[in-house]
């Protein structure tokens, strides 16, 4: 089954860019990438630019409304994602616990829908 890890964190709690703590966190991400690839479970993943670069769109009654930034009433922002393929939720949880941002943020684990099941 495929799972997506949505990586949320509060920028105020993240290590500051350029600090040794930031380098340590990024080293953890690089190590996780290699582990997921070595285990053959990685299907994709990327970091996202900051919310100040985001654009949101919605359509209501045929009218398109475009806004700067996300609509979020939370301190934690979506900063990136992984897509992995493993046997079950227990295996997904094992890998999600390895995401460095889990130490100061939240990792949401969501199964992906399979629109073309084998069978």
Spatial distance between the Cα atoms of 80 and 82, rounded to a whole number of angstroms: 7
Quick check: is 115 in a domain?
Answer: no
Q: Is position 90 within any domain?
A: yes
State residue 49's pLDDT score.
92
- pLDDT value, residue 72: 58
Which pLDDT score, from 0 to 100, does residue 76 have? 83
Q: Please name which of 83, 98, 111 lies closest in space to residue 35, comparing C-alpha atoms.
A: 98
* Count of domains observed in the chain: 1
> Which tokens belong to 85?
């393929």
* Helix, strand, coil percentages in the chain from 3-state DSSP, rounded to 5: 30, 35, 35
The verdict on residue 86 lying in a domain is yes
Of the candidates 18, 2, 9, 1, the residue with the CA atom closest to the CA atom of residue 100: 9
Reported pTM? 0.87
pLDDT in tens, 53-75: 889 899 999 999 998 877 656 67
Range of the domain at 79: 2-109
Q: Residue 39: give its domain's CATH number.
A: 3.30.70.1060
């Amino acid at each position: 089954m495929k799972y997506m890890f949505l990586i949320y964190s509060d920028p105020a709690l993240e290590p500051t860019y350029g600090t040794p703590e930031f380098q340590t966190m990024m080293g953890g991400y690089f190590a996780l990438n290699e582990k997921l690839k070595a285990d053959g479970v990685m299907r994709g993943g990327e970091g996202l630019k900051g919310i100040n670069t985001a654009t949101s769109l919605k359509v209501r009654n045929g009218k398109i409304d475009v806004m700067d930034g996300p609509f979020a009433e939370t301190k934690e922002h979506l900063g990136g994602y992984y897509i992995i393929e493993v046997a079950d939720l227990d295996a997904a949880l094992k890998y999600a616990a390895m995401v460095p941002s889990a130490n100061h943020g939240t990792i949401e684990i969501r199964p992906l829908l399979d629109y073309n099941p084998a069978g």
